[in-house]
Amino acid sequence: MSERTLYDWFTGSVAQHPDACALEVADARLSYRELDLLVRHLAVDITRTLGAVPARVGVHANRSLTAYVAYLAAQRLGATAVPLNPSFPRSRRVRVAALADVDLVVAQERATYPVPVLVAEDDALLERVGRPAPEAPGRAARAADVAYTLFTSGSTGVPKGVPIRHSNVDAYLGHVIPRYGLGPGERVSQTFDLTFDLSVFDLFATWGSGATLVVPTRRELLAPARFVAARRITHWFSVPSVISMALRLGRLPEGGMPGLRWSLFCGERLTLEQARAWRAAAPGSVLENLYGPTELTLSCTQFRLPEAPGDWPRTANGTVPIGTPYPGLEHLVIDDRGAAATRGELCVRGPQRFAGYLDPAHNRHRFLRFDGVRATPADAGPRPAAELWYRTGDLVTETDRVLVHLGRADHQVKVQGYRVELGEIEAELRRQDGVEDAIVVALTEPDSGPVTLHAVCTGANADTDGLLAALRERLPAHMLPRDVVHWARLPLNPNGKVDRAAIVTRLDPD
């Protein structure tokens, strides 16, 4: 079978299951036929507003009918979708839109960008259900074209654009849809924001199979068991921290999700403690831990926990293994010398590996060649060759081909499932007047609680409240430090470098 685009996956379900429910969001319930009709209407509006077929469409929307229709309309036009989270600071959204070179933004509300903005509110869209739509011009996307571009935190202070091609997602969907038995009648949670790559599973594993996408409200996410039971969810997918939050709020009762059949977690390390709590609440559910960076198209490894908790593996760090790579992907673990090892940095190549960052400068140091004995840095250029290995920056140990995640080889952390480069926050602080130096560290709350960020600054500017306010104007909420403190100087290690461990100890003596 030839490679399919994201829109091909959707239209296949429209053709085969036109009257099946495709989407439940707020008070709207749309069949595949009705959703496709709204997509056609909005695609026409986009081309009329711009006066041309766009190459890249910004989607300023989240958890709304506008968000889903706009994402699909971009795909129908053969354009790249670029999600822009309305809750992020305007300066960051505008910056991302400029880096992505979007031609037009579709917004669920009034918004300002330096390109045309088409406001498409949910109610206005729903009024067009049943109205015939004129045929929208467009270009047929190819497998090698970019389906979507997401921006991750960058250590240099500039967000990194990660373009993912249709061929990358096609390989991914071809594996996960049959693995999780998705199809008509199945009901899938939509827990991830569109700026989070895992949302692509929510949308297109669902719409590529004829299943129903069910969108919870923010309040419903705080009580997952109640949401799953009330909305008859069959497939749950979220970050593991949802479990910890529900436990703290007392909203994960034992046996509370009897109808849930599949439970998937990704984006953070899943602890065995979290897995046991979820299993108790959903005793009939198959529980699987996934792993993968945005550059490898959502997830690239999988580990299914045995049905009996007594048979679960025991790991030194108390986490569920990330398992084995997907079919068609190759993996390599290398030590500090570049030799193949059973403990070291994980490198991956195959059909889900992206074709390089939007800014080719970010490709440096991220790709390797391996001659069977030793890995060496590769001059990747703007489009890294398919035989090159992508360096994930994640440290793992491997036993009988099963991988366990150990942490990072750099200063990147996960907060609410989002990748956060501490260097980007530090760079923003150093840009403020009177700041000489800045270090940001991540601390973990007791009992596998959430990761919290804390900043330390030196220099003449001791207005820590002002510095934190300045960060709110530039960074999304998940990147904001809990606090900023001012020190006269930063501690140094014997080599004269900033001693991050000493900073952590001083901030968190316990």
Average pLDDT value for residue range 465-487:
92
Q: Structural domain tally of the chain? A: 2
**Residue 494 and residue 423 in one domain:** yes
**Residue 443 and residue 473 in one domain:** yes
**Residue 425 and residue 353 in one domain:** no
- What is the C-alpha end-to-end distance of the chain, expressed in Å? 57
Query: Does position 507 have pLDDT exceeding 90, yes or no?
Result: no
- The Cα diameter of the chain in Å comes to 73
**Residue 425 and residue 390 in one domain:** no
496, part of any domain? yes
367, part of any domain? yes
- How many CB atoms within 10 Å of residue 232? 11
Record the pTM. 0.89
Please report, rounded to a whole number, the percentage of residues in the chain having pLDDT higher than 70: 97
356, part of any domain? yes
Query: Residue 390: which of 323, 303, 331 has the closest Cα?
Result: 331
334, part of any domain? yes
Q: What is the pLDDT of residues 336-347, one digit of tens each?
A: 999 999 999 999
> Cα angle at 57 between 54 and 63, to 5 degrees?
150
**Residue 355 and residue 431 in one domain:** no
**Residue 387 and residue 457 in one domain:** no
Q: Residue 510 has what pLDDT?
A: 61
The rounded distance, in Å, linking the Cα atoms of 104 and 114 is 9
257, part of any domain? no
471, part of any domain? yes
Instruction: Give 446-458 as a 3 state SS string.
Output: CCCCCEEEEEEEE
- DSSP assignment of 5-39: PHHHHHHHHHHH-TTSEEEEETTEEEEHHHHHHHH
**Residue 433 and residue 502 in one domain:** yes
Query: Does position 456 have pLDDT exceeding 90, yes or no?
Result: yes
**Residue 366 and residue 429 in one domain:** no
**Residue 345 and residue 387 in one domain:** yes
**Residue 381 and residue 339 in one domain:** yes
In the numeric block, the tokens 């009257």 are attached to 19
- How many CB atoms within 10 Å of residue 448? 20
Q: Which domain holds residue 380?
A: 328-395
Could you tell me the CATH number of the domain that includes residue 463? Answer: 3.30.300.30
In the numeric block, the tokens 């299914």 are attached to 304
**Residue 371 and residue 445 in one domain:** no
Q: How far is CA 338 from each of CA 4, 155, 296, 404, rounded to the nearest angstrom?
A: 36, 23, 21, 19
Query: Residue 239: which of 280, 194, 286, 291 has the closest Cα?
Result: 291
Q: What is the pLDDT of residues 155-192, one digit of tens each?
A: 667 889 999 999 999 999 999 999 999 999 999 999 99
141, part of any domain? no
Q: What is the pLDDT of residues 283-311, one digit of tens each?
A: 999 999 999 999 999 999 999 999 999 99
43, part of any domain? no
Q: What is the pLDDT of residues 64-111, one digit of tens each?
A: 999 999 999 999 999 999 999 999 999 999 999 999 999 999 999 999
**Residue 360 and residue 426 in one domain:** no
